[in-house]
Amino acid sequence: MKLALNRNLTNGYTSNSQIARILTESWVEENIFCPNCGNPLNNYENNKPVADFYCFVCKEDFELKSKQNAMGKKIVDGAYATMIERLQSNKNPHFFFLNYELKTLQVSNFIIIPKHFFTSEIIEKRKPLSDTAKRAGWIGCNILINNLPSSGKIFYVKNKEVENKDKIFENWAKTLFLKEAKSEQKGWLLDIMLCIEKLNKKNFTRQELLSFIPYLETKYPNNHHIEFKISQQLQVLRDKNFLKFTARGNYELN
């Protein structure tokens, strides 16, 4: 995998957004493989509304967004209503995020956010465009990458270091079980995964996890069985091999 974007492809172009699109799309086409099967990806014809790339074998779609310089906490995406509609119909593509250094035209970070990590919680509604804007009243959205558990951000390139290919496949496979989860259960699973992550250790206890009850109570004010919900998610996560039970009330992340 080369980290340099190919500037030669943009000779003759003057629009910055067009240049960025050509540079980033051509890089993905040359360097990125399907995280599920390892095959090269295909580029959709321009302006297909839903996705930019697809895998012939897995029949999966991928959308590419890119950002110059700092990675930031959120990614600017398209129309809010379309995004919510896609989430509800389960038709959203997987999401590629390419972050590059403008000065050197080198890729700094490249991640995939699997579509099963998308819930309305990570979608932020932007303010409608002002009356003087060309598309007055239009409402876009941001993807709040900071609200995702780290298992939902699979790196191909991290701080200019290329990740090992097997590691990428492994990270991808680890959370595929979320694909099958219904949206309410998925919300709980993601919450508990995020709480576990905040503990920041490989081995943890149920007791430590219970310290998040006040936080979860604020989040789910109508649920009076939070402790039961925590136990339930731990069992699912164990059944799906995300973690294991090492002793009564003790867990280890896989």
| CB nearer Zn ion, residue 154 or residue 209 | 154
Least distance to Zn ion from the beta carbon of 60, Å?
6
| Cα gap 112→128, rounded to integer Å | 28
Using CB under 5 A as the binding rule, whether residue 57 contacts Zn ion is answered as yes
Find out whether 207 and 199 touch, Cβ atoms under 8 Å: no
Six-digit token string for 5: 């974007």
Q: Within positions 133 to 162, which residues make up the interface with Zn ion, using CB under 5 A?
A: none
Residue 176, interface with Zn ion (CB under 5 A)?
no
Q: Which of 58, 133, 139, 176 binds Zn ion (CB under 5 A)?
A: 58
Rg (CA), the chain: 20
Q: Residue count at the site for Zn ion (CB under 5 A)?
A: 6
Minimum CB distance to Zn ion smaller for 34 or for 98: 34
Would you mind telling me the total number of residues written for the chain in this entry?
A: 254
Please state, in angstroms and rounded to a whole number, the distance separating the CA atoms of residues 26 and 57.
Answer: 21
Beta carbon nearer to Zn ion, 35 or 149? 35
Dig out the tokens for 211 from the structure.
């310290």
Residue choice 34, 190, 192, 230 for contact with Zn ion (CB under 5 A): 34
Q: Counting contacts by CB under 5 A, is residue 33 touching Zn ion?
A: no
Applying CB under 5 A, which part among 58-66, 78-86, 170-178, 237-245 lies near Zn ion? 58-66
CA 58 to chain centre: 18
Quickly tell me which residue has 């999401």 as its tokens.
Answer: 95
3-state secondary structure of 168: helix
Stretch of residues binding Zn ion (CB under 5 A), selected from 32-40, 112-120, 156-164, 242-250: 32-40
Residue corresponding to tokens 């069992």: 235
* Rounded Cα gap, residues 242 and 171, in angstroms: 11
Query: Given the complex with Zn ion, which of 1 and 84 has the nearer CB atom?
Result: 1
Which residues contact Zn ion by CB under 5 A? Answer: 34, 36-37, 55, 57-58
